[in-house]
Each structure stands twice: as C-alpha cells, then as structure tokens.
Amino acid sequence: MAEESYLSDDFLRQLINVGEVDILVGLPTHNNAKTIGSIVQTIQSGILRGFPRERAVIINADGGSRDGTPELVTGGSIDDVRPASNLYALRTLHAISTKYASSPASEVAFRTILAAAELLRAKACVVMSPESANIEPEWLSKLLRPIYRDGFDLVTPTYRRHKLEGLLITNLLYPMTRALYGLRIREAYSLEFGFSGRLGSQFLEQNVWTDGTEGSGVELRFTLAAITARYRICQSFLGEKDHIERRAADLVPALRQTVGALFSALDPDFPVWSAVEGSQPVAGTGANQEVLLTPVRVNRKRLREMFSTGVAELESVFQSILSPSTLTELQRIARTGKEEEFDYPAELWVRTVYEFAASYQKSVISRDHIIQALAPLFRGRMFTFLMENRDASANDVENNIEGLCLEFERLKPYLLQLWKSRE
Amino acid sequence: MPLNRDVLWYKDAIIYQVHVRTFHDSNGDGIGEFQGLEEKLDYLQELGISAIWLMPFFPSPLRDDGYDIADHYSVHSSYGTLEDFRKFLGSAHDRGIRVIIEMVLNHTSDQHPWFQESRSSQDNPRRDWYVWSDTDTRYKGTRIIFLDTETSNWAWDPISKSFYWHRFFSHQPDLNYDNPAVREQMWNVMKFWLEMGVDAFRLDAVPYLVEREGTNCENLPETHDVLKELRRKLDAQFPGRMLLAEANQWPADLRPYFGDGDEFHMAFHFPLMPRMFMGLKLEDRKPITEILQQTPEIPSSCQWSLFLRNHDELTLEMVTDVERDYMYDTYAESKTMRLNLGIRRRLAPLLDNDRRRIELMNGMLMSLPGTPIVYYGDEIGMGDNINLGDRNGVRTPMQWNGGWNGGFSSADPERLYAPLIQDPVYGYPAVNVLSQTGSEHSLLHWMQRMITVRRSTAVFGRGSIEFLYPANHRILTYVRRLGNEAVLVVNNLSSTAQAVELDLRRYKGNILIEMFGKNMFPRVGDTPYLLTVGPYQFYWFRLRRI
Amino acid sequence: MREMIISELSQALQELVRGFAHFLPRLIVMLILAFVGWVIAYVAKVVLRSVLRLIKFDRLSENAGASQLLTKAALPSATEMLGRFVFWVVWLGFILLGVSVLGILGLQQQIARFFLFLPRLFVAMFIMFFGLLAASFFSRAALLAAVNANVPSPRVLSLAVRSIIIVFVLSIVFEELGLAEQTMLVAFGIVFGALMFGLAIAFGVGGRGLAQRFLEKRFVRGKKEENEDELSPL
C-alpha cells in the first residue's frame, strides 16, 4: 500500500511493539515544550478515568521540534499520574513519537496519525491540540465515548467562547457549511475531535494527499468527507476554549486552512450539497453553546481601515471576482465616514462569500489570491458584527448568528445560479 | 533414594500440596487416609516432586477444614493413626520426599480441651491461655478476615460470660501469646512432630499472634519476637528443618518475617499470584513486573514460595480496587465463584481449560524466583465444583482412573467425603491419572518433563533475576543467573503471535540453547535479538558461551 | 538588314519566351505554393483558435494583463490575434518558399535568414507572454500581501514589482531577438539599480520614521499594543 512508505522504519517498529489498541490519541506537535508535559499528563489521566481497561496509545506526530517536545511526550510514564490523582493503571500505556517532517505540516501529521490508527486497528481515535493548555481529563471521554460506546463516527467539539471570538467560524464557516451541507456543525474546523477507526481508514484511502506545505486545511476536509459519506456525527461540549494569542497576520493562513479548504471541496462535493435543502441539527452531548460576556478590547478602527484600504486598493482584483453590483455596494460602504453608519449587512456578506466561492471554482485568478483578497472584506464584516453585538447578551448573539445562518440558507439558490452560469 | 542433607534443600524443592483426605482411600470408608496416601507415593516420586505439604490432619470438628485443631498430638481418626502417619513419613523419606505439615499457632478449635478449660471459669489455670475481655470494644479497627461469615473479631461466650478474641471463625478462639506458658506449650507441640521426623512446618496465620491496643493487630514486633524464639530453638535442636510462613501481606510487610535469616526460611508470595492471572488476561506484563520490582531483597538463606492455586480462594486481598474489579469481571462472572475477596476456582477452569495457558502459567511458576508449589490435581488439570460450599469446590477427590469413584475409593459414591467432579469436560472419566499416564502428550507427562528440566539446574531455585523490558509489553522476559550459569526466559502473555526484540548486549557472544528440545538458536550479536513467539508460548534458553 | 533585325528580335523573343517558359513553371509553382500555403495557414489558424479556446487562453492572457493591453490598443482578443499572427506567418513562410523556388539568389539568403529567425521570434513571444503572466501574478500577490499587512501605498508596491519584472522580461526578450542585447542589459541594469537606489534613499532618508515603525511591526513581536486587542478569528 503506497501510503505506508511515509512512515519511518523506527516508527513502524514502535507500532509493532504497541500492537492492537482500542483507543488512540493523536498529538501533533511543534515546539510545544512549555505546555506538552501537563497536556500529556492530562491525557493519561483522562484515559485512566474514562477507559481504565482499554488498550490505549498516544501517538505524537512531531514536525521537527527543536526544544525537546518529543522526549517530553515519550518520557512521561503512566505511573507518574498515580500519586497525583489516585488513579491506578492496569495496563501499559504506550506513548510513541515520530518526526514526520522537519517543519510543521498539519496534513502530513494527520496522515501519520491516521496510518497509525489503521495499523493498530484502533476502534476510537481522538486528536488533541498541544496549544490548548486548559484541557481537562474529561475532554477525552467527551470526545471518545460517543464513538466507543454509542457508535458515532465523528465527534466535533463545542466550546464556551467569548461572544466576539471565533468570528471566522460564526460568520463564515459555520453558516456556510450549514447552508451547503445541511448539518449544523458548529466547529467543522477544529483541532480537537474524535473519530472512529472506520472513518479514519476510509479517509486515509480516499483523500488526495499533498505534502501539506500550503496548510491545506485537512481538518475541515475531514469533517466534510464525513458529512458527504453520511457517517454518524455528533457534537460534544468540552469547556472553555483556550484563548490563543493571534496577530493580524494570522488571518490569511487561517483563511487558507478553513475557507480555502471549504471552497476547494465545493467542486468535488457539488452533487451532495447542491441537492441539500435547509439544515438539520446534529446530535449533541453536554451543555449547548455557551458564550462569555467579559468585556474585551478591540481595535475597531484598524478593522475598518483595513477594509476600506482593501476595497480601494484591490479594485482590479475584485473586478475579476465580484459582480459589479456587489463591488459597487462595497465601495459605497468603504466610503462611509462615520463609524456608526458603517454597515456590512448580512445579505451583502453572503453574496460576497458566494461570489468568492464561485470565482474560486472557476479559478478566475490564482485561487490563493482569491482567498487573500477575502481578508479585508472579512475584516469589514467583523467590524459590523462587533458593532452589532458589543452590548448584546449571550442570547442575542446566538440569535444574530442564527439569523446569519438563515440568510446563508436563503441565498443558496444564488450560489447555485452562479455556479452554473459561467460554465 | 535417601534425602539429600543440604540445609538449603527447600530452595531446590518442588512442593506438592495435598490434603490426605482427598488423595486416596484404601479402607473403603469414602475418606482418604495416610495408608492410601502412602500407596500413591510412587506416583508422586515419578512426577518428580521432592516435598509434600500436608493440610491439617489433626483431630478437629472440621468446621474450618482442619484448621480448627482440637488435639495437637494426634491424627484425626478418619485419616488413620499416629502409627500410620509414622509409616507414611518413613516411606516418603525412603523415596527422597520430604514432608511439610501444618501447624496452626494462632488459634485452636473451641472444642480443644485447653479452651474448654479456659472458658469454664475465670480462675481456671488455663484462663489466660486465650484472649478474654468483658467488652467487645478492645482492639477497635482491626479488620475482619472472613468477611462473608463474621461480623466481629469478638465472640460472646455464654459459659464464662465474657468475650473472646478470634481473628478467624468464631469457633477458633485465638491463643494468648503474651502468656509464656502458651509459647512453651506450642514449642513442645512442634518438638513432638520434629522428633518424629517431620521436615518442615507451614505456620498458619502468623501475623495475628499478638494483639496490642491502638494497632491493627497484625505484624507486631512482639509477634516477630515469638517467631524468632521458635526459630532459635529449631536451629539449635533440629538443624535442616524448615519454617514456612503463611502471611497474606504486601511484600514489604512480609519482609520482616524473614528477619535477618533468623525467622522464617520461606514465605508465600501472595501478591504475585493474582497478578499472574491478571497479566494473562490483560496481555500485559505490567502487573507482574511491578509487584516483583516492589518485592524487597530477602536474606540469602531465605526463599519465596510461589503457587498458582491452593486450597483457598484465589485471594484478591492484596490488589487495588480497580484490579479486583477487573479480576472479578474477567475470571469470576458468576457471583457464586466469589468468596471472601477472592475467586474459588481451580487452575484449569480459571484458564478455560486452555492447555497452552495452563502450560504458560506453570512455566512461569517454575521459572520465577522461588520454590514452586503444585496443588494436587492441577498436574492433570482437574476441575472444580463451585456449588459445594465455602472452598470445598477445589477440594474434591483425586481422579485416578475412569472407573469406580475415579479410583479414589471403593466405597459407595454417596459415602465419599465429597462428590467427584462428573461433568463431561473435567469429570473423572475424562481427566484422570491413568489415561494421562498412557498418553504421551498428556498434561501429566508435560508436567513431569517440565519438572525434570526445572530440576536439571539450580539456577531457577537459587539464582538471581534480572528483568528485560522490551518495548512489546506482551512479553514477560527475564534472565536467571547463578554463578556462571544463565537462563533466559521469554513468556508471551498474549493470545496472538508476537515478535519481540531483546536487548541482550550483556550476553553478546552467547549461543541460546532451548532447554526442552536442546536445539540451538542464533548467537547473540550487536543488534537486538529478534524472537517470534506463538500464542501463550514460552521459551527457556540456556545461555552458553562456547 | 531587316532580316537581321527580325532574326535578332525573334532570337530575343525566343530567348524571352524560353526564359519565360523556364521561369513560368517556377512562377506557377510559387503561385501554387502560395495558394496551398494560404489554405494551410487558414487551417492552422482555425485549429489553433480551437485549441486556444479549449485551454482557455483568453483567460490566461487576461491574467497576464495582455488582454488589457490589447483592448487599450483597440486590438481584437488574444486568441484572435494569435490566430491571425500564425496565419500570416505560415502564409508568409509559404510565399517566401515559393519565392525561393524562383531562384533569385540574394533573395534566397534573406529568406533563409528569415526562417532561421522565426524560432527565436516564437521563443521571444513565448517569454514575453509568460513574463507578462508572471508580472501580473507577482504584482497581484504583492498587492494582496501589502493590503493584508496594512502596509501603506500597496498599489505603488504592486506597480513597482510589475515594472521590475516587465523590464527584466523585456531585456531577456531583446536578448533573445538579438536586438541591441548589450544595450538592453545595461539599460536594465541601470534602471534596476537606479530604482533600488532611489527606493533606498527614499525609504531610508525620507521615510525613516515609517521604515522604523514598519520594521518594528514586522520583527519586534514584543509590541503588544497593536496585537493585544486583535481577536482570534478561529
């Protein structure tokens, strides 16, 4: 089988020694020495509490760490957990590590984890993120139990977030995947999720793997693959989402991972999403979406500036992507003088996104450039959302998001029309 | 064959545990006795064992299978006379087989004359021989051992209107070891049997000899003093005899019973046994290696005693709750099988009558550091009857052939002390000595060969142990060493074939010679030594440098 | 005397006729070649047009910015242009071939040189085309990156990138065509150098403060003011 050639001999040998497992925990890392020690302990705790009799393994796929992260993962013994938490380990818990590349590529890391899961015939698997320093041992049960005990194939997380965080999810990813694919999966792109061995094997075989240097958003593709192949999916509330420091420059890579992956999936998935109407809720465990309301400082002015600058400077680019009416509207908004009058309404945003999606499909210009061009427009949308919700309660925010979702669903025929038109 | 005169004979011994009542009945009353046992000594000699451990045969109301002794100087009438016992002892010695008998130090039966006297009045000279109290609040917090039947360690005696202390059944009052007369008397009891020629004592329930307020009344220093005194006298008057301790404790708490080589010679390693079964089910060596790592060093003249099963339940006292639940769920699904924090099943039924697993467990028994004890009947794979009360399900008559009463007795089947196992799988027509003697591939023959190989070298009984930790956790592997001799043991605990790479750099240049077939295996080089093992298979390799 | 003139005349006429007769087949051949060439050229044009339409050449040339140039010069689309160009080149080729058949010496050499020149012309056109494509791509990439990094005057940056690439491409094209190669290279060197020098001065002297802030933003991650209130999009 061709895909096994990217597993090193040493890793293969370690896998042989582990043998068959029931539970597999995948942990992709890159220079996470500061947080990885406690995360591994938490994972071990979680396994001992939730699955004391099951055979389990931690697979660390490392992207060329230089701070000793792999050693920290494999060095911690399961028995270190005992004095701290009074838990007893019946079995040996293996923690093995492999360096899949000299620089991080989440796609290759994921592929390595899937290959290990298949070779070890794991029944239930979970991927954890080394950046979430606030994970609890129960998170493992929450992500694994639906698969191990209840027969689900994919468990996506839901979090308690600040009402203004994760706008890319609430204003684009969630409404669009919901409208197109018909399932109300809140976090279709997530770094922590559970999946069955069945789903993992199929994805391993059928996905078109690249070398992942572009950050192709395999996490989102995985969710979409599960949806289109009609696997059983549910959501599980984990806890508070750890706030990760991000800079303005991180928006474009984030767009690539998420929106880029979504747009490129639309063409092959066309038979599926074109036939879907409306959306269905997804089975969920744990508390429903919770929202934090603590005040947070936001540099709104810069958002608005970057939107206006973007609209002005990228006119030539937008002319290839957007319809003339949409572009005119955007230019009008960009010229708004006062902050209070600035409004990037939902309908216009949906049209913008759909026109981008259609242009992406037709590759009117380089696809990566299309994604980059979306960034300033998204910032404008962020601004409007912030203004609308700065004093809103948790309920109001949810209602606003729901309203946006319905708008996406309502305008779906417009996307279909765009899709077929330029052909 | 005369007995070897080695003072450390017990390090090389293979012990056979048997109750005289269960083995062979020669007088047709349905109960085995010493004459019958003597008739079967040839069988035991051929099996290869070198010591017999006899369960209590003293006069007794038999409410605790003989551990409630009513007379220390005689033999229960069902089992014969004292003369029969003497004859048996002589015959055993002639065949080079030593005899270990029980001695219960901690308590007697309430039918014992001593107790009858003690309870009769407060002024009786033997009053102080037992532990009396006006209230039942003394020694609070001491755990109850027979949880399924007893609710307190104090029992009310209506005759003397006071409470007496009993760590076991209420009809087994504890002797008072603070009384020097008691200590003197118990030594005399032992001396009686030693002078007759008995080679060793298994001292029952030794942790509980002495009580003190504010303690858990177990393993107290005063108890050790009593035992050391006994040992001193033994060494002075009867060198070469052995004391075996029955103390169901964690290894660290057991260590004091060896003293500095001045207390017990041997003690049972209780915590290891359930972990061997656990490791087999988990297919993981972790429980076994962990407990042995935690086992302290013992004086060079001392020895652990290892066993797979015995006359009691497979005790789960010395495991954590998680482990106990796991053992119950995997080995004793039916609640009938559970008793007193243990599982009352024989070896073969516990292992689903799987020949491979039986062989593997025996292989580990014979290769781990200690003196192995084989429970009667396990060498032919006898089954059990869990519907017999208490622990009697594992104490059914020995199955000699497929005929009348399995060859155990000529009496009517209804007269037997206990019914024979009769089901199609374990029943005496299927499982018996005669048919297995006739079949070369039988478990009995295999056990004989195994014991022969084990006895061919002193390394198993007297050597050191060094564990190897290959990455494949399903493989339990260790090296036994004594002087220049080294034996590598590799055990596959899993039900599937395994590959394992061993780090044998220390033994580079050695050729591996498999001890059963005497075939050579490749020499150890620089690279990890690759071995493949079938399901539940094990290897014993002699490491030979030529 | 009259007979001499007549005989000379007839001889001359005969020579003429002979020469003409000698020449005529070649002329006919030339005309035939021209005609065949026209047919082939036409077929080639049609085929090429279909092929280009198939590979969406128009879109590519739009990306290259070539279409915009053509529109500005009021010329038809790139496909059409290329089609016509190929048509004329092929036909001209055949005509010249026919002319060479005529056997006029000096002309033959020139014709040969023309044919030798053709491949280089194609290569140059090829380079030009893809150069324009690259220029367009990279200038757009620079534009987007600058906009998203909040760099001031992104369009200027984009134009600068485009200009440099075009100038570079032009110099290669000229070198390929063998037209004033050295001059072009030197010119390119001068322009590029001057541009860089100018930028350095402008940036370093005139925009010192701006440069400082720009560098700080890019490389000094400690600066929290800008980052602290940036919400996480995911």
Chain A contact for C155 (CB, 8 A cutoff):
yes
The answer to whether the Cβ–Cβ distance between A16 and B474 falls below 8 Å is: no
pLDDT for res A79: 59
Using pLDDT thresholds of 50, 70 and 90, give the confidence band for residue C115.
confident
Fold of B464-544: Immunoglobulin-like (2.60.40)
Model confidence at C223: pLDDT above 50: no
Q: Are residues A340 and A229 part of one domain?
A: no
Round to whole Å and give the CA distance between A251 and A245: 12
- What band does C44 get if pLDDT is binned at 50, 70 and 90? confident
Q: Residue C225 pLDDT > 60, yes or no?
A: no
Give the closest-approach CA distance of A300 to chain C in angstroms: 9
Q: Do A64 and A95 belong together in one domain?
A: yes
Whole-angstrom distance, CA of residue B106 vs CA of residue B166: 9
Residues in chain A with CB shorter than 8 Å from the CB of B494 are: 19
User: Of A252, A298, A309, which is closest to C231 when you measure between CB atoms?
Assistant: A298
Kindly state whether residues A183 and A80 are assigned to the same domain: yes
**pLDDT tens for residues C55-84?**
877 767 666 666 666 666 666 677 777 788
A59 three-class SS: strand
Residue in B with minimal Cα distance to A88: B322
Same structural domain for residues A34 and A117?
Answer: yes
Helix (H, G, I), strand (E, B) or coil at B519: coil
Give me B413's structure tokens.
Answer: 């089947």
Q: Do A14 and B470 touch (CB under 8 A)?
A: no
Are A192 and A107 in the same domain? yes
> C150 vs A166: CB contact, 8 Å cut-off?
no
**Under an 8 A CB cutoff, do C140 and A317 touch?**
yes
| CB contact at 8 A, C217 and C152 | no
How much is the pTM? 0.79
Q: Answer with the one of A292, A324, A339 that is the final residue of a domain.
A: A292
The beta strands (E) that lie in A197-307 are given as 233-240, 283-285, 290-292
**Distance separating alpha carbons of residues C195 and B254, to the nearest angstrom:** 89
**Residues A288 and A313 grouped into a single domain:** no
> Is-contact B19 B376, C-beta < 8 A?
yes
Number of domains in chain A: 2
What is the SS3 assignment for B530? strand
Taking 50 as the pLDDT cut, the residues of chain B under it are none
A245–C contact, CB cutoff 8 A? yes
Closest CA to B254 of B200, B318, B190: B318
The rounded Cα A239 to chain-centroid distance in angstroms is 16
- Nearest C-alpha neighbor of C176 from the set C109, C114, C121: C121
User: What is the spatial distance between Cα A77 and Cα B183, in angstroms, rounded to a whole number?
Assistant: 50
**Which of A297, A305, A314 comes nearest C229 by C-beta?**
A297
* Domains of chain C, first to last: 25-103 (no CATH), 119-219 (1.10.287)
At residue A422, the pLDDT reads: 59
What are the tokens at B147? 């949880």
Residue B204: active-site member: yes
Q: Do chains B and C touch (3 or more CB pairs under 8 A)?
A: no
User: What is the mean pLDDT for each group of 10 consecutive residues in chain A (423 residues)?
Assistant: 66 89 95 90 92 94 91 74 67 91 88 93 94 89 94 93 86 94 93 95 87 73 94 92 69 89 92 91 73 72 88 89 92 86 92 94 88 92 89 86 94 92 63
Residue with tokens 């129960």: A138
Is B246 considered catalytic here? yes
Nearest to C231 among A167, A189, A258 (CB): A167
Angle between helices C154-177 and C105-148 (to 10 degrees): 160
Neighboring chains of B (3 or more beta-carbon pairs < 8 A)? A
Say yes or no for a CB contact (<8 Å) between C149 and A249: yes
- Whether B541 and B514 have beta carbons less than 8 Å apart is answered as yes
- Of residues A289, A287, A291, A276, the one with CA closest to residue A183: A276
What is the model's pLDDT at position C224? 46
Give the closest-approach CA distance of B326 to chain A in angstroms: 8
- Check residue B476 and give its pLDDT: 97
What range defines the domain where residue A417 resides? 300-421
Question: For residue C220, which residues of chain A lie inside 8 Å, CB to CB?
Answer: none
How many contacts (CB atoms, under 8 Å) link A and B?
A: 39
Q: What is the CATH number of the domain that holds A117?
A: 3.90.550.10
Is B360:B292 a contact under the CB 8 Å cutoff? Answer: no
Mention every residue, 6+ apart, whose C-beta is less than 8 A from residue A91. Answer: A53, A55, A56, B282, B284, B286, B473
**pLDDT of C151 above 90:** no
Q: List phi, psi (to 5°) of B304.
A: -80, 155
Is the CB of residue B328 less than 8 Å away from at least one CB of chain A? no
Closest approach of C211 to chain A, Cα-based (Å): 18
By the CB < 8 Å criterion, does C15 face chain A?
no
In one-letter notation, the amino acid at residue C174 is F
Domain boundaries, chain B: 9-105+179-455, 113-165, 464-544
Q: List the single residue in C141, C148, C232 with the smallest CB-CB distance to A244.
A: C232
Among the listed residues B33, B68, B110, B246, the single catalytic one is: B246
Q: Say which of B286, B471, B494 has its CB closest to residue A91.
A: B286
Which of C19-23, C70-74, C143-147 shows the lowest per-residue confidence on average (mean pLDDT)? C70-74
ipTM score for this prediction: 0.79
Q: What CATH code would you report for B113-165?
A: 3.90.400.10
A to C CB pairs, distance under 8 Å = 95
C149 — contact with chain A (CB < 8 Å)? yes
CA dihedral B380, B381, B386, B388 (to 10 degrees): 0
DSSP B428-455: TTTS-HHHHHH-TTSHHHHHHHHHHHHH
* Residue B343 pLDDT: 77
Residues with Cβ within 8 Å of B180's Cβ and at least 6 positions away in sequence, in order, are: none
Chains A and B touch (3+ CB pairs under 8 A): yes
Asked if the C-beta of B473 comes within 8 angstroms of chain A's C-beta atoms, the answer is yes
One domain, residues A262 and A307: no
How many Å apart are CA C69 and CA B365, to the nearest integer? 91
Residues A388 and A261 in one domain: no
Residue of A nearest to C56 (CA): A364
d(CA B481, CA B486): 4
Kindly state which CATH superfamily the domain B9-105+179-455 is placed in: Glycosidases (3.20.20.80)
Phi and psi based region of residue B483 (left: phi greater than 0; alpha: psi -120 to 50; beta: remaining):
left
In 3D space, the residue among B89, B13, B9, B39 whose CA is nearest the CA of residue B408 turns out to be: B39
Residue of A177, A173, A231, A180 lying closest to A203 (CA atoms): A231
